[in-house]
Structures are given as structure tokens and as C-alpha cells.
Structure 1
């Protein structure tokens, strides 16, 4: 066969792949309508979602505040000795807020919420793109179910506005999967999105794209031959190499030494050894993510975990073949869930990149279950229209119930745990040292403190390593990015130089719960009850989780239908009385 005759054959094979992977059907709901709804929910989450992890504050909000305003708290990860956090990542976000910070009389906490809104906007576009791609390349019904599952979920509500590399990676993995579905033959743009997710975001998220890349290699190899497939793959890595060069160059410039942050993250977390690594910060049982996903996605978590079983049942009963694309779309969630369930150190944010994959699995499960209901109806000699209506009604009921539970979960979290972000917006003129004891991990960032105030820590029962302060200089350059801070370590060993004497505190943030009673530890006295030394500036109620029943903690239930069993404590800003507390 001549070389000329091979060209049309390869083109025909390519067109065949395209026809299998792309349908002529479009989304059931117009793109702009879906995007508007997603973005509206995203803005609500940006305004009201709580900060669930202190790592978000100390490793991202604080360095960004330092770049923008010249002061902030510094963790050991930003020491040039370890360099496992990217200055390019926080620098990009700092630049996003720069135009808004120039607005006269704007408050810093306004900048906080503006950046959250920007993140929600990016996340909304990525969700809409994935919805459009699923609708066109898989099935319009799957795309619709994906949106109906992801948008109201408590998990996505928390993840979308979070200033975390895992959320950032989630955005660009969604962009990449959408591009992979829309243009399966030309993968250059999809690989670029994946590179941004892994190199600028979180390197571990690249595990989510392995199945797609393997499918691309298989399909392209069959269509064009192995040699051409390798050539096309080599051409596709040009853009990722540019991303890599930018990441290494920017971070090396900030740290003033050659640095490859993604590699440092992997080395620390995977090859850190027994004396260091993520396990120093706590371990969780094997079922942690099952419980966590059940809270954040309820019924849909079960549907996602059961999706391969549902696919197998459907293919047997309906005698339908399992397409490679269907199987590949199911794999990322299982792969991610398996890898991270095996790790002793577990955190909710580690699941963020896999949330869209969970929603895809659940959406496909719902679609297949609907098909099984229709098939069962025909076997029972029920009219097709009646069977279809029954299936649609049952699936709609399940989706509505899931959305209702998720909304209840979201409202429960907002109403119970918002005090750490709301107590600072009372118009009080706070200045000087604002101290944190046992509430150090709920500090919402320096964006909530006026320019004349600085966060400080007092000794509490906590015995790990607390953040220090970045080097403050009068120059426009932030020398703290490269100056090696004193008394930092990667072993989570306590450093007493990080503490401020209580007598030097002008303000103090503290909580009080009746479950602790008046019997407090010597290192954690009930400052809120100490009216002799401290005045209350602002107080808000805060859920006493120890005394609140599980169901009342997990979900918000209307008081008209259910007696509110939540028990409340107090969360306060206190001001030191003159000539008191030494």
C-alpha cells in the first residue's frame, strides 16, 4: 500500500473516533442559562462559605496579604530552606486583586470576598464547560444530571470559592476534561490545562487525567499508528513545558535560588521519611472519606461509588456494550478515592479535585438507572410513555431529595460556624496586637484586620509549630520571599519564640462553650468570662459541637418541623482593660 493511500485511511479512522466520541445533540439547557445559575450559586458561596481549613489561611491568604500589603504570617513551607509552596501561585492571585485595592476607602475584607468571587467565577465557567462537553460528547441527559448534582451539593459549595491549590486544580482539571471530550484528536489544549492544574495548582491531581491520556493514546495509535501517536504526543508537551518554565522561573526568582516547587511537594509528602511528612499533622481512619463524602454529597456519593456496578448491571440486562469513553470517565474518581483512602493523613480538601469526577459518576449512574426503570416497565407491559414518565419522576425525586439534603447541610455549616469571619465586620477600630490562643486555627486571615493591627499567638494547649511573621520592609519588594526565617522546622516541633506574652495583647479572640464549663485548662482560661481584665467588643454565637446531637450538627432543619437541638457557645473579640492583664 502506498503512503498516499494510507492518508485517507488514517483520516477515516480519525473521523470514526470523532463520530463515536461526539454526538450531534446539544445541551438540554442553553449554556448561558446554566452558566448564570452556576455563577449565582458561586457568588453566594463566595459570600457565605466558611473557611474549613487553617491551611487555606496560613499558606495562601496570609502570603497573598504579604505581597499586597507588606505584612502577614509565614509558615515553614515558605522558608527557602524547604520551599514547598509556590510564590507564583499566590502572586497571580495577588495581581488579580490589585485593581480593586486601588479603589478609595475599600476595606481589606472586601478584597477577600472579591478574590473569592473571582475564584467562584473561574470555577463556574469550568463547570459550565464540562456540562457542555458531557452533553455533546456523552449524552445531554448526563450533562443535565451533572449540573443538577454538582451545583446544589454542599461539597462544591465549599470547594468552589476556596483559595486552595486543590480547588484551583479542580477548575483546570474540569477545563481539561471538557477539552478532551470536545476535541479528542487534538489534545494539546487539554494537556495544557492539565499542566496548569498540576504544576501551578497541585501535582497530585495529574492522577485524575491518566485514564484520559491512556484512552487518547490507544485511539490515536489505532488511527494513525504508534509512531505518529508518539510524535503527536511529543508536540502536545510544548505548551506544558512553557508552563513548567514559568513556574520554575518565577519561584526561583522569588526564593532567589533554583526551585521546583511541585517536585518539592512530592518529595516531602511521599518520600519525606518516617520523621517528617503529612502524618505529623494527624491521621484518620480508612473510612474518613466515605463519611465525608456522605455528608457533602449524600445520596450522590452512593451513586458515584456504585457507578461501575450500575454500569455492569445495565450492560448485562440491556445487552448494551460498554464504550471505552464511559469506562474511562468512571475511572478517575475510583483512582483518586483509592489512592487517598490509603494515605493515613486525610483532609476534606484533598477530595476537592475529584468532586467533578464524583458528579460525573453519579450522573451516569442516574442515567443508567433511568434506563433500567424504562426497561423494567416494558417487561411489565407498561406503556413506554408511562414507564418513561415514571423513570423521570423517580430520578427527579432522588435528585431533588439530594439537593434538599445538600442545601440543609450548607445552611447548617453557615449558621453554625460563621462567627470567626463575622465578628471583625462590626466597625470597631481594632489596632495593635490581636492575639489568638486556642482559637489560632480559626483565624480568617489578616484581610479581616485593619492595617494597624497584627495577629499574634499566645500559648495554649497546642504543642505544634505555629506560623511566624514575614519580614516587613519599607521597600516595594517583599524580601520575606527569600530571607530565611528563624526557628522554622518541618517536624511540627513547637517553637516558643512564636508566642507573645498575654500582657502585650491589645485584643484577644476567644471562644466559650458550656460543655467546658468553668473548669478550663491553665493554658486555656475562659477569657470571655474574665470581665475583670477583658471587655467584650463583639460576640457571635458559635455551635457547641460537643453538646449538639449529630443530626443537628450535620443538617439544618426548620424549627417548625423539628425542635432545634443545637447548643450554642460564644465567639468574641475582647479588648484588654487599661492597666490590666500582666
Structure 2
């Protein structure tokens, strides 16, 4: 039984099969895997570099991978190793692309599963709107191919919600959703479990489609819930074993991550050391990644509440005076609000934190599309109701094209904004992934200064090239090479645990057990990360912004190859003196891709400034 009902006077929307949805989303996201940029939120050093170590050896290590901290999971890295190892026979870049294609296909599969579940249990039109949003919005497209635990949490949350959409309680629903949510938390990001809270509350306290509640009902539900939780916790065993093998000591990374983020302030450490953002950061982020759909998602609960009061037939099954028999169990409105709640809960929890990053919102990206699709359905329903009251003609209501044009206009506007935003990301910021193509295989030593955070990983560097860091204005802690330190030595219980695991499986990467001495969790600079700039054969640097006195002197370097790179700050300054309408045009030209022939005709669009991203050779 669907939670939302179409007016039977109008045609019921058709939804493609799972295979067609998977093919569409898979094609879009495979394209993103080939062309999308690695943004700062991709955390190259925390995930792509460890994967490179597993596949090829020689990679950078962050302090989070030091055995004394162990807040990054090697089990997560090994999930992706088969794709990179198999493709490594072709080339490094092929291994990189193979991993991204696998991520694209997994995300397409779970999204298609959610869409079909929405069509079956919520509404066909909502499912059809979701397909468009998932295929065209920038957020899901880029997050789907990012090597991040928050992306894994997104896949798991999406799959968990596909099970949770069912109104009728069953063992399949309970176990499927519980195991999916738990996998996302244990293998990906533990905080993603917050999105499962509405499902847990519904499972334990809401009747759903069950006819009645009583002691037997509670016993049955709670017993099944505990059994599902116990089954899900078994996932922790292989994760604990792999991470303990990797670190050479007993390590349960999800717990370490929670302790660092929640209790770290007591010893003066927390994610806030890496920057804080204002309360509206995620509002802006959602607008950039979802366009008009962001507003629809944020308005979904008020829209449903309004529609439930004005057009109760959409939820109760009564149309045109023909009254259906009362449905047993929980109110469809309450159940629908529970389906909409995970996005709001996640958005509220993240907005309350001082430290904010774009990747933190990934776990609920598919749910943003679901909430937005529900809002669009409700808006269409209100229009239908108003038109019917105005014309008093069910026939004219069923024949008019106004409603279809309205939803098509909204979806087309969202799709256009999403596609142009995705292309803009590649056009404006694609240089760091392309510039190393000009690097010779015998380049020797390549150095990064202020552009260290845009290093696209060793997957883009020839095997014999040594990548190092030169001094810049950055004063935080930089990564170092794996194996930089002393081997871990243990006593007592930890030693027995690791010895037992080593007796079962030999760990082939001893570098992961090395305990670095020049490392800290306070984001303090470590001087041994830098080499003298005179020892560098090549330098990757950008001509963007005002150079610091600590930057390498460009007079000492000869340009090998340069590519355009958006100078966002200079563009904002250039647009500051323009009129309001021109500033709006300048902002759109900065966040969306516009062809040159179009931008030249738009006043204000010319304020967009580009610098150069260059590969230099020592003179």
C-alpha cells in the first residue's frame, strides 16, 4: 500500500524497471568516474594514498594512520583493493579509474533499489522525480565516485532506507535495513548511524501496517530488532581483525573515531583544529549541489503537513466521496514523516557542529532527492486540488497539461543547474589531475608547496618519481611517507591478539605497523616533512592569489606546462563593484559552466578570473 496516492482522475506515472534505472544512473556516474575532478573533500592522503600503498607501494601517510591513533580503517581500504590490483596491470591511472567505476556502479545499484522501493511503497510519481534528481544533481554524481567512508555510508544508508520504506513490518525489512545501516557505520563512518534513528523508532514503537499493538506485538518486534542488531554486530569481527592486523595492535577503528571526535576536547584535540564554518554552510552547500531541489528538500515536512490538512485523501485513500475502508496500523502521514526525518535529523546534527565539510553531508544525498521529490509531488497535488475547485470539472482536470508542465519545468531547471555545475567543477578545477600528464617518467623529484592539498595521489605519478613538499605559508601538519619511524612492539593482551591473527593471515604491508615519532594530533607543523627547494627537479604550483614570501621564487623555474584554474577569490573581488544584477550574473558564471559565446553576452560574467596551474622545471 502506498503512503501517497495519486488522484485516480489523472494518469498514474510510469516508473522504469530497476535495470533501466541502474543503466541510466550507471552511465551518468561512469562518465563522472572518467572525468570528474578530485576535490579537496576527496581526502587524497587519507584514502587514495593508502590504496596506492596496497596496490603499488610507496605512498603518503597521515597522522590518522599512525598505530598510536588508528582512526582510519584499513578494512575500508581493502574493500577497494581488488579493483585497483586487477587494473594495476594496465597502468596506475587505469587502477584509479577502475576503482571509481566500481564505486559508480555500486551507487547506481543502491539508488535504483531505493527508487523502486519508493515506487512500490510511497508513490510512482515521487519515484520518477527521484530518477531525474539522482541522475542530474551534482551532489549524488560527485559523491558516488568519491573514495570516502562517507560515500560508503551513503550507499549503505540508501540501501537501508530502501528496506525501511516498506510499511508492512517483516523480518526481511528489519534485518535488511539494520544490517545495511550497521555496515555503513562499521565499515564507513560510525556517525552515519544517526540517519537510522527514525527507522529504529518506527520498528520498535510504530505499528506500521500491523492491525493492532499489544504485549505480544512488542515482544515480537523487540525480539526481532535485537536479533537483527546482533546479526549486524557480527560485521565488526572481520573489521576488527583486519585493522588489528594492519596496525600491529588491537584496533577497533569505529570506536577510536568516536572517542577522538567526542572525547578529544578533554586533551585539546578535535576536528575544530582543521577549521570551522558558519551555521548556514550546509544550506549553501546543498544549493550548490542540488539547485532548486535543495529548497524542495528543506520544505518537505511543512509541505506534507500542509497537504495532510488540506487534502487528506492523498494519505487516507478517499477520493471524490468514495471512502475506502480505514487502514489498520499507524497513520500514513506519520509514517511518511518518519521517511522524511533522516535528512532533517542529519542536517540538524551536522549544522550544530562547528567543524563542517562537504563530505559530511554525503550519507543522506539520496534522501535529499527523496525529500525534494515528495515536496514536488505535494506541490503538484495542491495545484490539482486548486484547479479542480476552480473549474469544478474532473474531466478538465484530467485533461489539462498544466500539472505536467509545472513538474517538468522544476525538474528541467534542476537538471540544467546540476549538469552545468558538474561541468563547471571539471572545467574550473580539473588542472591538478591533468598537469602531471606532462611529467616525464624520469622526472626525479617533484615538489608541491602551497598546492600540497591538490596533489591527486601517486596514481598520477610515474613509479620512479619522488614526490615531496617544499615550504609554503601552510603551518599545519603534512603527511609523511609510510615506513617513516620504528616498528611497533607490544606486550600483554594486544601482543597475543596480533600474534594469533598473524598466525592465521600474514599481513603483507609492514609499513602500516610503523610507529612514526614526528607526528601529532594537534595539527602542529612537523619540520621533517619539508625538503630544500633546491633539491627539487620539478615544481607544481599555481599562479592564483597573492603569493606568500615563503613561496618558491618563480624566477628560478621554467614553465613546462600550464592550464587555466579558477581564481575564486579574485573573481569575487572583481564582482564586488558591480550592480546587484551583474553580481548575480557573476556568481552564476562562477558556479555554473557557461560557454564563452554566452558569458560574453551576460553583463557581469566577464568578472570571472582565471589563474594558471603550472608544472615548472628547475632552471
Return the alpha-carbon distance in structure 1 between the equivalents of residues 610 and 396 of structure 2.
50
Matched with 2:91 is: 107
Matched with 2:234 is: 242
Return the alpha-carbon distance in structure 2 between the equivalents of residues 210 and 422 of structure 1.
43
2:616 aligns with one of 557, 565, 574: 574
1:185 aligns with 2:170: yes
1:334 aligns with 2:360: no
Return the alpha-carbon distance in structure 1 between the equivalents of residues 132 and 534 of structure 2.
54
427 and 189 in structure 1: CA distance in 2 versus 1, 3 angstrom threshold = same
Matched with 1:369 is: 379
1:108-257 paired onto structure 2 within 5 Å: 108-182=92-166, 184-186=169-171, 187-218=174-205, 219=207, 222=213, 224-257=216-249
Matched with 2:563 is: 540
Matched with 1:499 is: 530
Give 1:567 deviation, angstroms: 2.0
1:464-499 CA distance string (max 9 Å, x none): 0000110189x9821121110121100000000111
Question: Contact 2:287/2:294 (CA < 8 Å) preserved in 1?
Answer: yes
Matched with 1:348 is: 358
Matched with 1:10 is: none
Matched with 1:86 is: 73
Matched with 1:68 is: 55
Larger CA deviation: 30-39 vs 80-89: 30-39
Question: Contact 2:178/2:229 (CA < 8 Å) preserved in 1?
Answer: yes
Q: Secondary structure at the match of 2:456?
A: coil
Question: Contact 2:243/2:253 (CA < 8 Å) preserved in 1?
Answer: yes
2:433 aligns with one of 412, 421, 425: 421
1:281 aligns with 2:274: yes
2:402 aligns with one of 383, 386, 390: 390
Question: Contact 1:459/1:523 (CA < 8 Å) preserved in 2?
Answer: yes
Larger CA deviation: 248-257 vs 319-328: 319-328
Larger CA deviation: 75-84 vs 106-115: 106-115
1:296-317 CA distance string (max 9 Å, x none): 1111110111111111111111
Q: TM-score, normalization: structure 1?
A: 0.90
1:424-460 CA distance string (max 9 Å, x none): 2247325322110010000000100010012210110
1:356-409 CA distance string (max 9 Å, x none): 111111010011111100000011116445545211210110110111111111
Larger CA deviation: 269-278 vs 58-67: 269-278
Matched with 2:38 is: 51
Matched with 2:599 is: 562
Question: Contact 1:540/1:571 (CA < 8 Å) preserved in 2?
Answer: yes
Larger CA deviation: 149-158 vs 344-353: 149-158
54 and 574 in structure 1: CA distance in 2 versus 1, 3 angstrom threshold = farther
1:412 aligns with 2:424: yes
1:313 aligns with 2:300: no
Q: Secondary structure at the match of 1:574?
A: strand
428 and 370 in structure 1: CA distance in 2 versus 1, 3 angstrom threshold = same
Question: Contact 2:441/2:465 (CA < 8 Å) preserved in 1?
Answer: no
Question: Aligned residues, how many?
Answer: 547
1:256-312 CA distance string (max 9 Å, x none): 211111111111112111621100000000111111111111111101111111111
Return the alpha-carbon distance in structure 2 between the equivalents of residues 386 and 305 of structure 1.
33
1:453 aligns with 2:465: yes
1:97 aligns with 2:84: yes
Q: Secondary structure at the match of 1:150?
A: helix
Question: Contact 2:52/2:458 (CA < 8 Å) preserved in 1?
Answer: yes
1:423-442 paired onto structure 2 within 5 Å: 423-426=435-438, 428-442=440-454
1:41-96 CA distance string (max 9 Å, x none): 00111112112226620100001101111110000000011000001111121123
Q: TM-score, normalization: structure 2?
A: 0.85
Q: Secondary structure at the match of 1:541?
A: strand
Give 1:184 deviation, angstroms: 3.6
1:268 aligns with 2:260: yes
Return the alpha-carbon distance in structure 2 between the equivalents of residues 476 and 450 of structure 1.
26
Give 1:234 deviation, angstroms: 2.1
1:216-244 CA distance string (max 9 Å, x none): 22237937522222221122124312201
Matched with 1:479 is: 510
Question: Contact 1:409/1:555 (CA < 8 Å) preserved in 2?
Answer: yes
Give 1:319 deviation, angstroms: 2.9
Question: Contact 1:541/1:570 (CA < 8 Å) preserved in 2?
Answer: yes
1:336-373 CA distance string (max 9 Å, x none): 01000010000110011111111111010011111100
1:135-178 CA distance string (max 9 Å, x none): 01111111111111121001112111000000111011111111
Question: Contact 2:564/2:610 (CA < 8 Å) preserved in 1?
Answer: yes
Return the alpha-carbon distance in structure 2 between the equivalents of residues 526 and 401 of structure 1.
46
Return the alpha-carbon distance in structure 1 between the equivalents of residues 77 and 508 of structure 2.
15
Q: Secondary structure at the match of 2:570?
A: coil
Q: Secondary structure at the match of 2:335?
A: helix
Question: Contact 1:252/1:259 (CA < 8 Å) preserved in 2?
Answer: yes
142 and 544 in structure 1: CA distance in 2 versus 1, 3 angstrom threshold = same
Return the alpha-carbon distance in structure 2 between the equivalents of residues 422 and 525 of structure 1.
22
Larger CA deviation: 219-228 vs 142-151: 219-228
152 and 385 in structure 1: CA distance in 2 versus 1, 3 angstrom threshold = farther
20 and 299 in structure 1: CA distance in 2 versus 1, 3 angstrom threshold = closer
Q: Secondary structure at the match of 1:172?
A: helix
* Structure 1: 5+ residue stretches without partners: 1-18, 578-582
